[in-house]
């Protein structure tokens, strides 16, 4: 039975990796393999000998358990995993809603006003600085979308924009790695209790920064970044609340880790508090008197909160659900725990994690990190957890398909896989390894 579950996982994994070839959205194989894995456990319950208790972190022999006791154990374990997964998904939904409401008020348009230079080299440093900081707050995917949208209003030449977009991917992924809210994998480690926000930011800020600075310093000497850009004359309608809603939204998201530290409540509670406060202010500004919808004749007019909720990427949410629960199924049978022990005995942890980061440029980093959480039993804030956060977050920049930021840039600017591989991948790899060296030196 265990072999069948591993086979299902690998087939599903291949289907996810070949999403662009099969044209099958990755949420479908993720949900399918989750369902098959848990159904297999339920149907073959009496044949399993090992059971991993996620609360105590121990592997138990259940061969002498009665079938009824095994059924109760399955129910308790399933509820535990779905609860932990739901915490992550609710957190992401809240964060996505706040970002969508900021966009509703054209909050990100305020960033464009801050860009005054016309020199390409200066613009490169400014835009990548924004990517590094912004992705640490609103996640690397959203930061990439925002900044490439701004680039389109600033740089008319598509070839120039592709180079800028390539460096934005590196900066956004690095920025997302050093905060608990900047990347979904870092959020997973934080919410699983593997890292604390203070220690994470202290240890990873410098390696993440170095992983951007090194490629930027090298790229600044490229001929493509010499000279100035042509000015695009546009007349845009400005929202008078854009700057207010941008800084308020960012402040509320940043407040979430502070709220957790003060109250010791799960992060999703803080995110829902931030969402509710932001929604109240958004509704007051739009004069909706705290109502989320309003009927005008036969047409329903949505307020900013409801509009934001309708724009949330539910396919991504369901994909995370499928992946996290599939990995939980393998963890339950002790498969991941056993594999982790074998890996630790065969190669040093730092070598494994470095390779994990490089692998994340090919394979989605969400299941990689989810599996890593089940492999190691180190205490909170152990070096391995922070190393995993750095590696999974920044390693995806090596190939354009290795991160959500890369994939969205690929779609927005029609960047080909091979163009990125020839022009940007080596820069990203050098930056990644430089960050690894800095991390190992300071940790």
Interior CA angle at 61 toward 60 and 66, to 5°? 115
Provide the greatest CA pair distance for the chain. 76
- The pLDDT of residue 298: 47
Q: How much is the pLDDT for 67?
A: 87
Q: List, in order, residues 6 or more apart from 339 with CB less than 8 Å away.
A: 375
| Tokens, residue 222 | 């490229």
CB neighbour burial string for 31-46, b if at least 16 within 10 angstroms, e if fewer: bbbbebbbebbeeebe
Residues in the chain predicted with pLDDT less than 50, given as ranges, are 289-290, 294-298
Residue 237: predicted pLDDT: 63
In the numeric block, the tokens 């004749």 are attached to: 297
CA separation, residue 327 to residues 15, 376, 423 (Å): 16, 14, 35
Q: Which residues pair with 119 in a beta bridge?
A: 228
Is the CB of residue 203 less than 8 Å from the CB of residue 442? yes
- CB-CB contact of 224 with 427 (8 Å): no
Spatial distance between the Cα atoms of 86 and 83, rounded to a whole number of angstroms:
5
Is the four-CA dihedral 11, 12, 14, 18 of positive or negative sign? positive
Q: Which residue has the tokens 């199924």?
A: 329
Mean pLDDT for the chain overall: 85
Quote the distance between the C-alpha of residue 425 and its chain's center.
Answer: 20
Which residue is associated with the tokens 């086979």?
A: 7
pTM for the predicted model, two decimal places: 0.77
The pair of structure tokens assigned to 316 is: 């991504």
pLDDT attached to residue 232: 57
Q: Exposed, middle or buried by CB within 10 Å (0-12, 13-18, 19+), for 398?
A: buried
Q: Answer positive or negative: Cα dihedral of 190, 193, 199, 204.
A: negative
d(CA 312, CA 96): 6
3-class DSSP assignment, residue 10: helix
The whole-number pLDDT of residue 164 equals 93
Predicted local confidence at residue 146, as pLDDT: 85
């Amino acid at each position: 039975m265990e072999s069948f579950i591993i086979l299902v996982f690998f087939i599903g994994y291949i289907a996810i990796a070949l999403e662009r070839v099969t044209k099958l959205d990755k949420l479908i194989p993720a949900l399918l393999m989750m369902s098959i894995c848990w159904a297999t456990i339920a149907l073959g319950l009496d044949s399993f000998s090992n059971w991993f208790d996620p609360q105590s972190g121990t592997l138990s022999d259940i061969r002498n358990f009665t079938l009824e006791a095994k059924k109760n154990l399955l129910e308790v374990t399933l509820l535990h995993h779905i609860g932990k997964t739901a915490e992550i998904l609710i957190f992401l939904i809240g964060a996505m809603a706040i970002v969508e409401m900021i966009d509703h008020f054209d909050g990100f348009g305020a960033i464009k006003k801050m860009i005054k230079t016309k020199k390409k080299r200066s613009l490169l440093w400014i835009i990548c600085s924004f990517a590094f900081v912004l992705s640490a707050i609103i996640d690397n995917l959203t930061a990439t979308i925002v900044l490439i949208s701004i680039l389109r209003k600033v740089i008319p030449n598509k070839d120039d924009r592709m180079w800028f977009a390539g460096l934005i991917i590196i900066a956004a992924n690095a920025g997302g790695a050093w905060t608990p809210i900047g990347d979904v994998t870092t959020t997973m480690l934080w919410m699983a209790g593997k890292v604390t926000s203070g220690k994470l930011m202290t240890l990873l800020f410098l390696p993440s920064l170095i992983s951007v600075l090194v490629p930027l310093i090298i790229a600044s000497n490229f001929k493509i970044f010499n000279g100035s850009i042509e000015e695009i004359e546009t007349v845009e309608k400005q929202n008078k609340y854009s700057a207010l809603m941008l800084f308020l939204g960012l402040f509320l998201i940043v407040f979430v880790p502070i709220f957790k530290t003060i109250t010791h409540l799960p992060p999703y509670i803080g995110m829902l508090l931030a969402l509710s406060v932001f929604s109240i202010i958004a509704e007051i500004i739009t004069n909706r008197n705290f109502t989320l919808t309003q009927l005008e004749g036969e047409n329903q007019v949505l307020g900013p909160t409801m509009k934001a909720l309708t724009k949330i990427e539910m396919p991504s949410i369901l994909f995370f659900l499928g992946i996290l629960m599939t990995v939980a199924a393998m963890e339950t049978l002790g498969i991941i725990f056993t594999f982790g022990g074998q890996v630790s005995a065969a190669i040093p942890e730092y070598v494994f994690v470095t390779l994990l980061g490089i692998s994340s440029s090919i394979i989605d980093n969400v299941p990689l990190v989810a599996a890593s959480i089940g492999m190691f039993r180190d205490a909170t804030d152990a070096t391995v957890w922070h190393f995993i956060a750095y590696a999974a977050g920044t390693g995806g920049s090596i190939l354009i398909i290795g991160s959500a930021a890369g994939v969205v840039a690929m779609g927005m600017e029609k960047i080909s896989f091979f163009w990125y591989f020839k022009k940007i991948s080596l820069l990203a790899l050098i930056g990644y390894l430089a960050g690894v060296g800095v991390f190992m030196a300071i940790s």
